[in-house]
């Protein structure tokens, strides 16, 4: 071994970083959370990048954040008007019902879609530089959350026009409910993005799954309307879908509709937690071979 | 005080060959998983132990690195030397944390930066300013640090007036300058330079090496992979030699370079495998020998005169009847620069080969590639042989299988005796002058 004995000391001996060993620190992938926290500035940079790219070279710019849920709302309102079907069965006017559904669904759909493709789209970065890979799908999620939060402002004019009153006493609960939905999305995209990096089939199957998901969640109709068709055990099964539960809860907290059943909520909560924990562990496992396989 | 900056503890890495064919699709993974369940057979994956692998290539697995033990002190500048395919790039990728080792443990102190990926993460739609922040963040610089050095970076890149222009409107030179400026202002504790992967020109590579010695002088650790042996000798305090994925020597650069060159020079113009087990082979084909011959000489020769036609002769056995065969060769010079690639195909052949596109019956075959006289320069060349079912597809390969030297006989330089310009080829071309 050739070694210079008079090697120059580290430029700043006071701040000698500790020796860091690579590899998982725990089997459940909790170590990733600390790493994400330490690199949150990079998450912000990725978020900013996605946001800037999205609204570059478009004429109406950020207006799209409002246009997307508004168009969705108008399309289905028109559709049900032409068909003469009633999609809502509550005392609340239909437009705010469908708008809350649309906002939630666009959070789910756009975060799933963008996050699933994120690792593969940034393959050239992932295979050349290290950073916590979870940041890429999370950046897609933060973008979707941004759209969700800004788009929510539409509720005020829509409620005003339809003369619907927001239930202020429970409205603050909308925040934890939205966080629940975001948490569920985070768990799912941890699964989807890493799966797609290994098996591209996931990306091809996703659009169909999302189409199906939109109709098995109360996006364009409300649960009261569904209760006129489905009986009890089926309703519980339906509410076990965390997306359905969250939309139902959100409408309850803001508009005062019927809340989902306690049993459905409990199952949905268990599903959410298991998706999150398993997603974390799976992502860490998949990450080990990501650069070789992607 | 010398502080350990990098520590590799029995690090090995294996890759799966043809992974995209086998488990690339989810359906196939599920099907094979179900099959295993039904058969109640144990998972067919080979057991993870180095001892069970005598060969570097085992079924579909390939050991890119084996049992690397290495410890580097901070402030060291270490060169990594080895043939193409010896595992240098894999080693760097493991240190950069991009690739996870299959076995062993890697520890690094502080931030790792690499000049090998200049401009990674640049987005064409974003402006120069936005890209500086994004790229800096990807490289690991905190935003506050980027903000502090922003003016410096922009001045270095000389793009002040284009800051608010999307990078897609930049000339390629401007984009590279900006990318390099960001990378150069990153101050990593460990800097990795891979000349083979970097795309820059000579001037750019000189800049990289200049940056390396500057960082080394500041007491940071630098790792260099370069085919420029003179640069390694000048820059590094220490060098390691990789061969077939193993670290075989660790010494002062001069001695490592000597050992590397003598390893490269070995050979008498022929490499043959008498033992079936050790011969490079795929399921269909087994390599028997590779040799270089001069025109009119029947025996292999490692030295050929410049005015002779040169033949690369590949002997191989076809193991399965009906196999299509395409023999391909790659020729590189001593610095690793790619001279040319050629395959036995009508488009690359002076006369059509009657065997081209045929299904080969089982048996021994010989494919020859003749290179014209007065084409290569008087230097050393390395030949890699690749065989596959069709052009561009590789089923088996032998990198830098052998080398040969072309000798200047003087016949070609009767008029000019200075050192020859353009080192790689020296063809005789068709020159004419006429009075207009």
The pLDDT tens digits for B186-199 are 778 888 877 644 44
Say if residue B358's pLDDT is above 80. yes
**Crossing angle for the helix pair A262-287 and A31-38, to the nearest 10 degrees:** 80
A5 and B114: CB-CB below 8 Å? no
pLDDT of residue A13: 53
Q: Is residue A149 part of a domain?
A: yes
A49 and B126: CB-CB below 8 Å? yes
Question: Which A positions 46-75 lie with beta carbon below 8 A of chain B?
Answer: 46, 48-49, 52-53, 56-57
Residue whose tokens read 């570059």: A56
Out of A36-50, A61-75, B109-123, which region has the weakest mean confidence (pLDDT)? B109-123
B25 and A201: CB-CB below 8 Å? yes
Say if residue B85's pLDDT is above 80. no
pLDDT of residue B38: 60
Q: In whole angstroms, give the CA distance from residue A228 to residue A197.
A: 43
Q: In whole angstroms, give the CA distance from residue B73 to residue B2.
A: 6
Nearest C-alpha of chain A: how many angstroms from B12?
14
Please count the structural domains in chain A.
1
Q: Which one has a higher pLDDT value, B385 or B16? A: B385
pLDDT of residue B201: 56
Residues of B in contact with A17 (CB under 8 A): 109-111, 189
Q: Is residue A10 part of a domain?
A: no
What average pLDDT does range A106-129 have in this prediction? 91
pLDDT of residue B271: 83
Q: What are phi and psi of B130, to 5 degrees?
A: -60, -40
Which residues make beta-bridge pairs with B71? B7
Nearest C-alpha of chain A: how many angstroms from B378?
35
A9 and B1: CB-CB below 8 Å? yes
Residues of A in contact with B251 (CB under 8 A): 1-2
Q: Is residue A7 part of a domain?
A: no
B98 and A56: CB-CB below 8 Å? no
CATH 3.40.50.300 fits B74-263, yes or no: yes
pLDDT of residue B27: 64
Nearest C-alpha of chain B: how many angstroms from A96?
36
- Alpha-carbon dihedral B24, B29, B30, B33, rounded to 10 degrees: 180
Out of A55-69, B29-43, B61-75, B399-413, which region has the weakest mean confidence (pLDDT)? B29-43
Out of A16-30, A106-120, A181-195, which region has the weakest mean confidence (pLDDT)? A16-30
What average pLDDT does range B139-157 have in this prediction? 87
Q: Is residue A13 part of a domain?
A: no
Over the stretch A207-261, which tens digit does the pLDDT of each residue have? 999 999 998 898 888 888 888 887 777 887 888 899 999 999 999 999 988 888 8
Q: Are B282 and B391 contacting, i.e. CB atoms less than 8 angstroms apart? A: no
Residues of A in contact with B134 (CB under 8 A): 45-46, 48-49
Where are chain B's structural domains? 7-69, 74-263, 270-407
Q: Are B123 and A53 contacting, i.e. CB atoms less than 8 angstroms apart? A: yes
**ipTM here:** 0.80
Look up the CATH number of domain B270-407. 2.70.50.60
Out of A184-188, B203-207, B379-383, which region has the weakest mean confidence (pLDDT)? B203-207
What's the domain range around A51? 39-287
Nearest C-alpha of chain B: how many angstroms from A175?
30
Say if residue B106's pLDDT is above 60. yes
Chain A interface mutation, best of B3, B68, B100, B134, highest count of A Cβ atoms under 10 Å: B100
B73 vs A7, A22, A129: nearest CB: A7
Residues of B in contact with A287 (CB under 8 A): 100
What average pLDDT does range B136-144 have in this prediction? 86
Residues of B in contact with A3 (CB under 8 A): 2, 73, 76, 237-238
pLDDT of residue B202: 60
Nearest C-alpha of chain A: how many angstroms from B286?
27
Q: Which one has a higher pLDDT value, B88 or B184? A: B88
A15 touches chain B (CB under 8 A): no
B109 vs A5, A17, A56: nearest CB: A17
What DSSP string describes A132-194?
-TTHHHHHHHHHHHHHHHHHHTTHHHHHHHTTPPP-HHHHTTHHHHHHHHHHHHHHHHHHHHH
B16 and A200: CB-CB below 8 Å? no
Nearest CA in chain B to A130: B98
Q: Is residue A20 part of a domain?
A: no
DSSP classification of residue B362: S
């Amino acid at each position: 071994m050739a070694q210079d004995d008079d090697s120059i000391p580290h430029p700043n001996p006071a701040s000698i970083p500790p020796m860091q060993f690579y590899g998982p620190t725990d089997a459940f992938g909790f170590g990733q959370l600390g790493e994400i926290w330490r690199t949150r500035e990079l998450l912000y940079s990725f978020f900013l990048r996605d946001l800037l790219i999205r609204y570059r070279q478009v004429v109406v710019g950020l207006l799209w954040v409002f246009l997307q849920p508004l168009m969705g709302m108008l399309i289905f309102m028109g559709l049900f008007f032409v068909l003469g079907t009633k999609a809502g069965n509550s005392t609340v006017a239909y437009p705010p019902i469908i708008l809350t559904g649309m906002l939630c669904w666009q959070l789910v759909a756009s975060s799933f879609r963008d996050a699933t493709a994120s690792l593969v789209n940034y393959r050239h970065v992932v295979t050349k530089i290290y950073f916590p890979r979870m940041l890429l799908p999370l950046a897609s999620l933060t973008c979707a959350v941004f759209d969700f939060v800004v788009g929510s402002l539409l509720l005020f004019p829509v409620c005003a026009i339809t003369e619907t009153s927001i239930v202020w006493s429970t409205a603050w609960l909308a925040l934890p409910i939205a966080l629940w939905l975001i948490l569920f999305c985070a768990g799912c995209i941890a699964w989807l993005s890493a799966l797609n990096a290994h098996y591209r089939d996931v990306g091809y199957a996703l659009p169909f799954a999302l189409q199906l998901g939109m109709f098995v969640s109360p996006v364009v109709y409300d649960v009261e309307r569904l209760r006129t068709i489905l009986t009890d055990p089926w309703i519980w099964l339906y509410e076990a879908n965390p997306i359905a539960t969250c939309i139902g809860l959100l409408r309850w907290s803001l508009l005062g509709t019927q809340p989902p059943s306690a049993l459905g909520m409990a199952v949905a909560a268990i599903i959410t937690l298991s998706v999150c924990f398993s997603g974390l562990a799976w992502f860490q496992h998949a990450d080990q071979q990501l650069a070789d396989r992607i | 005080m010398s502080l350990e900056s990098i520590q590799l503890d029995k690090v090995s890495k294996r890759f799966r060959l043809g992974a995209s064919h086998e488990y690339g699709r989810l359906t196939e993974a599920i099907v094979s998983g179900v099959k295993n369940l039904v058969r109640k057979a144990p998972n067919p994956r080979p057991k993870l132990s180095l001892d069970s692998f005598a060969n570097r290539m085992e079924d579909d697995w390939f050991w890119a690195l084996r049992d690397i033990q290495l410890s580097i002190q901070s402030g060291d500048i270490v060169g990594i030397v080895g043939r193409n395919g010896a595992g240098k790039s894999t080693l760097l990728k493991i240190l950069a944390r991009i690739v996870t080792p299959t076995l062993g443990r890697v520890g690094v102190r502080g931030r790792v930066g690499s000049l090998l990926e200049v401009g990674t993460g640049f987005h064409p739609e974003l402006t120069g300013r936005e890209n500086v922040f994004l790229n800096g963040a990807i490289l690991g610089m905190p935003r506050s640090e980027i903000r502090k050095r922003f003016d410096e970076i922009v001045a270095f890149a000389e793009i002040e007036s284009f800051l608010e222009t999307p990078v897609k409107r930049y000339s390629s030179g401007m984009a590279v300058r900006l990318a390099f400026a960001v990378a150069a202002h990153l101050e990593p504790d460990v800097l990795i330079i891979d000349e083979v992967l970097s795309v820059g020109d000579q001037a750019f590579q000189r800049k990289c090496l200049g940056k390396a010695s500057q960082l080394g002088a500041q007491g940071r650790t630098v790792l260099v992979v370069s085919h420029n042996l003179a640069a390694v000798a000048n820059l590094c305090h220490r060098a390691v030699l990789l061969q077939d994925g193993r670290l075989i020597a660790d010494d002062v650069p001069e001695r490592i370079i000597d050992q590397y060159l003598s390893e490269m020079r070995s050979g008498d113009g022929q490499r043959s495998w008498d033992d079936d087990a050790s011969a490079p082979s795929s399921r269909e084909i087994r390599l028997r020998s590779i040799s270089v011959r001069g025109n009119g000489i029947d025996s292999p020769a490692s030295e050929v005169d410049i005015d002779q036609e040169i033949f690369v002769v590949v002997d191989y056995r076809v193991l399965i009847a009906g196999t299509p065969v395409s023999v391909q060769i790659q020729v590189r010079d001593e610095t690793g620069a790619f001279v040319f690639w050629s395959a036995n195909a009508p488009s690359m052949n002076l006369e059509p080969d009657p065997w081209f596109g045929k299904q080969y019956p089982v048996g021994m075959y010989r494919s020859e590639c003749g290179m014209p006289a007065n084409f290569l320069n008087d230097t050393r060349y390395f030949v890699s042989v690749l065989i596959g079912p069709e052009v561009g597809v590789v089923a088996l390969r032998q990198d830098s299988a052998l080398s040969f030297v072309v000798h200047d006989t003087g016949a070609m330089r009767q008029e000019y005796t200075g050192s020859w310009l353009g080192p790689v080829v020296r063809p005789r071309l068709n020159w004419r002058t006429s009075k207009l």
